[in-house]
Amino acid sequence: MASEPQHQSTKILVLGAGELGLPILQSLATHPVTQSSPDVTVTLLLRPSSLASPSPSITSLQSFGVQMIACDIASSSIDEVAQVFKGYDTIVSCLGYASGPGTQLKLVKAVLATASLRRAEDAERKRPKLRYFPWQFGVDYAKIGPGSSQDLFDEQLEVRRILRSHEDDVEWVIVSTGVFMSYLFSEFFGIVELKQGEGGVVRALGSWDNMLTVTTVEDIGKLTAEILFTQHPHIANQIVYVASDTLSYSQVGDVVDFVVQHKRPGGRKVKRELWTVEHLDEELRKDPNDVLKKYRATFARGEGVAWDFGETFNWERGIEVVRAREWAEEHLSV
């Protein structure tokens, strides 16, 4: 388990409170280090409109001691964002692709500008080096490489290049999670499609043997908090791999079959359908701006979308996570 933080003051700023931001905020705010140290604070950055009319889920964060500030990242300049960031030691971005192209690059430039401001105001370097967790809670973009069918990944690669070239100014930590567990089993993603009482279909992208790493957002929140507070050793300037599960598309089919049989005894097993690389490339050619088709064509190649569960941060540290079958049993409607 984590110990006391390395620095006397750890001021954490989390950007966004969406599907991932909420569990990260809750895990940080309720972590033993936060609860035992008055110097550790957790603050949520929201758009002014969201702060003016907060949702119940955001309001509930106040009961965990989460503070809140307003800033519109999209409309603010890099220097304006840096002025907001400079009061914090650690910045965790939960602003994903929905925030629009260019946002990840704008944020990393704002982080570098923040580091310059802090250095100018603290010539003796008494404050800790700024630490940044960029929004890279996904696949291994480096192994996928530049120029993939999912062009959003190239921006992520550029963020990594920038961070690596400024390690004297900013500590960075990338948490690689694979696909969100809920996405794997969501009908819109196209891999699992169930109809209540009528069976359904499980599809493989590229090959039934292709592997996929998945992590629940709750596990991402818990593990990100552990990574952030871990001091033996202090984690900096590295990619940390986590997972709730790593399984093949064939095993995904087995999970869905098990859940169908468990919840609907005597029900038919789901059909299995292979979407080949060629088929997915052709689908993307017909509709080159479809974001989901970009993902599917990239995932079908089987590179950078899975890693060994036995080599993850959570496995090495004995942290319990929710495996795919356990999640499916609780959430799938058949």
- Kindly list the distances between the CA atom of residue 315 and the CA atoms of 138, 223, 233, 244, 309, in Å, as whole numbers in the listed order: 18, 11, 16, 9, 7
Both 230 and 96 in one domain: the answer is yes
CA nearest 305: which of 315, 313, 314, 295? 295
The domain containing residue 190 runs over which residues?
181-212+246-307+319-331
Both 148 and 105 in one domain: the answer is yes
Predicted confidence (pLDDT) at residue 6 exceeds the cutoff of 60: no
| Tens digit of each residue's pLDDT (9 = 90 or more) over 37-83 | 999 999 999 999 988 888 999 999 999 999 999 999 999 999 999 99
Distance CA 90, CA 94 (A): 13
Q: Which residue is listed with tokens 């992590």? A: 215
Question: Which has more confidence, 162 or 262?
Answer: 162
Question: Residue 145 is which amino acid?
Answer: G
Q: Is residue 269 part of a domain?
A: yes
Predicted confidence (pLDDT) at residue 126 exceeds the cutoff of 80: no
| Tens digit of each residue's pLDDT (9 = 90 or more) over 206-251 | 999 999 999 999 999 999 999 999 998 999 999 999 999 999 999 9
Both 173 and 263 in one domain: the answer is no
- Identify the pLDDT of residue 8: 47
- Identify the pLDDT of residue 12: 98
Question: What is the 8-class DSSP label of residue 61?
Answer: G
Output the domain CATH number for residue 303: 3.90.25
Question: How many of the other CB atoms lie within 10 Å of CB of 178?
Answer: 28
- 227, 243, 259: which is the final residue of a domain? 243
Question: What is the 8-class DSSP label of residue 304?
Answer: S
Q: Is residue 313 part of a domain?
A: no
Question: What is the 8-class DSSP label of residue 19?
Answer: T
Instruction: Verify cis geometry, omega within 30 degrees of 0, for the bond prior to 233.
Output: yes
Q: Is residue 83 part of a domain?
A: yes
- CA atoms within a 13 Å half-sphere pointing along the CA-CB vector of 305: 24
Predicted confidence (pLDDT) at residue 140 exceeds the cutoff of 80: yes
Q: Is residue 2 part of a domain?
A: no
Distance CA 79, CA 111 (A): 10
Give helix then strand counts, H and E, for the chain.
15, 13
| Tens digit of each residue's pLDDT (9 = 90 or more) over 92-105 | 999 987 888 899 99
Q: Is residue 5 part of a domain?
A: no
Q: Is residue 287 part of a domain?
A: yes
Question: Which has more confidence, 302 or 264?
Answer: 302
Average pLDDT, the chain: 92
Both 89 and 30 in one domain: the answer is yes
Both 124 and 155 in one domain: the answer is yes
Both 163 and 208 in one domain: the answer is no
Say if residues 178 and 313 touch (Cβ distance below 8 Å). Answer: no
- 203, 225, 243: which is the final residue of a domain? 243
Distance CA 67, CA 289 (A): 39
Give the mean pLDDT of 312-334.
95
Least confident of 27-41, 111-125, 283-297: 111-125
Question: Which has more confidence, 263 or 242?
Answer: 242
Both 171 and 274 in one domain: the answer is no
Both 144 and 34 in one domain: the answer is yes
Least confident of 19-23, 123-127, 233-237, 289-293: 123-127
Distance CA 166, CA 274 (A): 44
Number of domains in the chain: 2
Locate the DSSP E strands across the chain.
10-15, 40-46, 67-70, 90-93, 130-133, 170-176, 179-180, 192-195, 199-205, 211-215, 238-241, 245-248, 271-275
- Identify the pLDDT of residue 147: 87
Q: Is residue 302 part of a domain?
A: yes
| Tens digit of each residue's pLDDT (9 = 90 or more) over 296-320 | 999 999 999 999 999 999 999 999 9
Output the domain CATH number for residue 114: 3.40.50.720
Residue 248 phi, psi (nearest 5): -85, 165
Distance CA 276, CA 297 (A): 9
Q: Which residue is listed with tokens 């700024």? A: 130
Question: How many of the other CB atoms lie within 10 Å of CB of 192?
Answer: 21
Both 144 and 289 in one domain: the answer is no
Distance CA 211, CA 215 (A): 14
Both 218 and 262 in one domain: the answer is no
- Identify the pLDDT of residue 7: 46
CA nearest 297: which of 148, 80, 140? 148
| Tens digit of each residue's pLDDT (9 = 90 or more) over 175-201 | 999 999 999 999 999 999 997 666 789
**Region of 112 on the Ramachandran plot (φ > 0 left; ψ -120 to 50 alpha; else beta):** alpha
- Identify the pLDDT of residue 196: 67
- 197, 222, 243: which is the final residue of a domain? 243
Both 43 and 159 in one domain: the answer is yes
Q: Is residue 18 part of a domain?
A: yes
Predicted confidence (pLDDT) at residue 9 exceeds the cutoff of 70: no
Both 112 and 253 in one domain: the answer is no
